[in-house]
Structure 1
Amino acid sequence: MKKMNCTNCTIKSKTVTEKMLISITLAVITILTTVLNSAVILAICTTKKLHQPANYLICSLAVTDFLVAILVMPLSIAYIVMDTWSLGFVICEIWLSVDMTCCTCSILHLCVIALDRYWAITDAIEYARKRTVKRAGIMIITVWTISIFISLPPLFWRNHHNVNIPTQCIIQHDHVIYTIYSTCGAFYIPLTLILILYYRIYHAAKSLYQKRGSSRHLSNRSNDSQNSFAHCKLTQTFCVSEFSTSDPTMEFEQINASVRTPPYDNDIDMFGERQQQISSSRERKAARILGLILGAFMLSWLPFFIKELVVGLSLCTVSPEVADFLTWLGYVNSLINPLLYTSFNDDFKLAFKKLFRCKEHS
């Protein structure tokens, strides 16, 4: 997503020191984004345990963010530091199109990941049969298709403006209908859907935890733990495996083992209290994880799309410096995504350890 067309703005040239600081900071962000997303892609490709449809969606997200890092960020750095576009009209058109497509695609990936997790926790048994590689592939193709259709329209009119200004490479805001269409399709609709889905995911997970935690009698505890174990094995997703940093299979096996050993009567209340504490702890952990995912996404992209909407509707203008800052704030989401979507999963942690161990020995 690129800087806006700023009429009536006085452009102040940057000093050499400012240019160096900007280029170093943005280069570090670009390199980290490239490395982290490459690590996610390699981990999924080389680790058999991660070959699951849900992880293929995360891999596709990493590929999209990797493309943002290698195709979009470097040219943006050059443009910001040089204060002029010197690569010609064709490269400008390609850059703007790739930028809009990849950034939109990254946002829509977050939406389908949330949808996949929602189905997995609310309809575990049925969705376990539907959650196939083919289904994940269809979701990925759909995301890319929608992204292309959102970013394609400006190609039909952008050249009429930019061909006469070879030193600028900017998105025009003179089509109000397209501004509303693109901002809603690329951000506001996905944001609304993500908020609704994660709200329901959290409450579904909370309900599962409370059911297990409130089991008071031995027979009920045994049945609940067995059902929860089967449920989690079927979903292999947000229900516990991503709300917990431990292996959910082992966790439920331990609960089953403790239930099979009949406790003394005076231990039953203590067991129930302990289960309630575990349930509350998991609820808090679930809330923190969801808060991080949603908070990072909204802090990264919401300011940019508010700016796009108000500028597109001619409600106000912003300086090039502010526009660049908000654009890169959005790009930072491509750096955060590989951290948030893998850090709470033990399988990914083990895969990363093996990956980096191999690199050290090579």
Structure 2
Amino acid sequence: MDFLNYTEGVFATNTSGNDSLETTKLPTSKVLLTVTLSIVAILTTFFNCLVITAIAVTRKLHHPANYLICSLAVTDLLVAVLVMPFSIMYIQMETWIMGKVVCTIWLSVDITCCTCSILHLAAIAIDRYRAITDAVEYSRKRTGARAGAMVAVVWLLSILVSLPPLLWRHFSEEGDLEDQCIIIHHHLAFTLYSTFGAFYIPLLLILILYYKIYKAAQTLYMRREASRASRHSCMTNGSMIPSSFTAGDGDIDGGPRSPDPISPPEKSFSEPSTEEPPREKVRASVKAFKRKTRRPESRSESRRSQLYQGPRISGSRERKAASTLGLIIGAFVICWLPFFVKEVIVNTCGSCSTSVEMADFLTWLGYLNSLINPLIYTIFNEDFKKAFQRLVRCSNYL
């Protein structure tokens, strides 16, 4: 994502005659770098294609929430196919050799798709927040048309954020540079507009929403376990009427959860077969009688064990939810925060600058988020796991 490269540029060319010396000194490192970046691009293409195909051919995944995941995968796929290869070539050649038109197209796709990928993460956070805090009402509004409208809004905002840098480059002198494909400007207002619109505002929104999602899920689990505990307590004291659930105690996907059904009485196997001898009939009936007399005690013990296991189960769920949210937020912050912090520092401090290698590293660290997204947003979903397994096995029964 190169819309804020204000020093010599993320992929600026080296000066003087040191090019030949560096070329002779570092051919192996350049080859390794090119191979590594190419592997990243190939893996990003593969995993995003896998997500798109799984959603397209698996009926169980045809859900409005997964439409946002699919749109995110399409955006990250565009980054892998249309942005990463040109960036690899630019790093390898150390000069832009494909002309102004291709440069303009590449910068447009780069800025728009990277911004759109970040805004998709914010849209998914909004969708999940609504689904857990207003499950019953939002389940009615959570339609394919609404998901499509959210995708359209995300793309529109991405264009609005990325268009000003492209217009600036077109009307400035840097557009006349033949051997560079960068955007250079030194206006503080423009820097803040681009960085806050593309990253800092979505980051703040994601942090707030996922914190509220975690707190809402924690409250939901506590209510559910308290309701289960009171129901088991009523049963232990002789009452068979389960305590009612509150209207808000639904699953994360929406809808109230019905109380656990009481297990039916075990079938007595004292009923003899026609071929059994009379002595075996008596033994079977005696064993059945003993089991019946022991059954109330065993049932009460099982209920007590379930009662004690309730908080333990709730704690494991909370830890799993916290780890999932931590991965989502952590991957996003680690990939994109260094790049945007560098952009703000470099463009607000006149004497500050970064090396070309560091700028390349931070840019590709942001690109790496397009590889991580399809893994994080699908690996914790059992339906996605099964769909991936069937796709890898080339199964036709999806």
Aligned partners of 1:43, 1:69: CA distance in 2, in Å?
Answer: 19
1:358–1:56: structure 2 CA closer, same or farther, 3 Å change rule?
Answer: same
1:225–1:43: structure 2 CA closer, same or farther, 3 Å change rule?
Answer: farther
Aligned partners of 2:201, 2:132: CA distance in 1, in Å?
Answer: 22
Q: Any conservation in 1 of the 2:131–2:252 contact (CA below 8 Å)?
A: no
Amino acid across the alignment from 2:325: L
Q: 2:379 aligns with which of 333, 340, 343?
A: 343
Is 2:372 the counterpart of 1:307? no
Q: Residues 239-265 of structure 1, C-alpha deviation per residue, up to 9 Å, x if partnerless?
A: 9xxxxxxxxxxxx78x72467779744
Q: Superposition pairs for residues 109-120 of structure 1, below 5 Å? A: 109-120=120-131
For residue 235 of structure 1, what is the aligned residue in structure 2?
Answer: 254
Q: Any conservation in 1 of the 2:135–2:252 contact (CA below 8 Å)?
A: no
For residue 4 of structure 1, what is the aligned residue in structure 2?
Answer: 5
Q: Any conservation in 2 of the 1:125–1:234 contact (CA below 8 Å)?
A: no
For residue 204 of structure 1, what is the aligned residue in structure 2?
Answer: 216
Q: Residues 220-252 of structure 1, C-alpha deviation per residue, up to 9 Å, x if partnerless?
A: 795567978x8238528xx9xxxxxxxxxxxx7
**Deviating more after overlay: 92-101 vs 173-182:** 173-182
Amino acid across the alignment from 1:190: P
For residue 139 of structure 2, what is the aligned residue in structure 1?
Answer: 128
1:156–1:303: structure 2 CA closer, same or farther, 3 Å change rule?
Answer: same
Aligned partners of 2:40, 2:206: CA distance in 1, in Å?
Answer: 26
Amino acid across the alignment from 2:56: C
Q: How much has 1:7 moved relative to structure 2?
A: 4.5
Q: Residues 115-164 of structure 1, C-alpha deviation per residue, up to 9 Å, x if partnerless?
A: 00000000000000110001000000000000001111123221322333
Q: 2:231 aligns with which of 218, 234, 238?
A: 218
Q: 1:191 aligns with which of 184, 193, 203?
A: 203
Is 2:184 the counterpart of 1:172? yes
Q: Residues 76-128 of structure 1, C-alpha deviation per residue, up to 9 Å, x if partnerless?
A: 00001110001111111111111000000000000000000000000000000
Q: Secondary structure at the match of 2:180?
A: coil
Give structure 2 stretches of 5+ with no counterpart: 236-241, 266-295
1:209–1:224: structure 2 CA closer, same or farther, 3 Å change rule?
Answer: farther
Aligned partners of 1:223, 1:44: CA distance in 2, in Å?
Answer: 39
For residue 75 of structure 2, what is the aligned residue in structure 1?
Answer: 64
Aligned partners of 1:131, 1:146: CA distance in 2, in Å?
Answer: 21
**Could you state the TM-score of these two structures normalised by the residue count of structure 2?**
0.80
Q: Secondary structure at the match of 2:251?
A: helix
1:260–1:312: structure 2 CA closer, same or farther, 3 Å change rule?
Answer: farther
Q: Superposition pairs for residues 4-23 of structure 1, below 5 Å? A: 4-7=5-8, 13-14=22-23, 15-23=26-34
Aligned partners of 2:333, 2:8: CA distance in 1, in Å?
Answer: 28
Aligned partners of 1:157, 1:194: CA distance in 2, in Å?
Answer: 29
Q: Secondary structure at the match of 1:198?
A: helix
Q: Superposition pairs for residues 38-77 of structure 1, below 5 Å? A: 38-77=49-88
Is 2:326 the counterpart of 1:322? no
- Bigger Rg over Cα: 2
Q: Any conservation in 1 of the 2:52–2:73 contact (CA below 8 Å)?
A: yes
Amino acid across the alignment from 2:162: S
Q: Any conservation in 2 of the 1:216–1:268 contact (CA below 8 Å)?
A: no
1:78–1:231: structure 2 CA closer, same or farther, 3 Å change rule?
Answer: same
Aligned partners of 2:300, 2:41: CA distance in 1, in Å?
Answer: 60
Amino acid across the alignment from 1:286: A
Aligned partners of 1:223, 1:133: CA distance in 2, in Å?
Answer: 36
Aligned partners of 1:18, 1:227: CA distance in 2, in Å?
Answer: 61
Q: How much has 1:28 moved relative to structure 2?
A: 0.2
Q: Any conservation in 2 of the 1:29–1:332 contact (CA below 8 Å)?
A: yes
Percent identity of paired positions between Structure 1 and Structure 2: 53
Aligned partners of 2:29, 2:70: CA distance in 1, in Å?
Answer: 36
For residue 98 of structure 2, what is the aligned residue in structure 1?
Answer: 87
Q: How many residues align?
A: 345
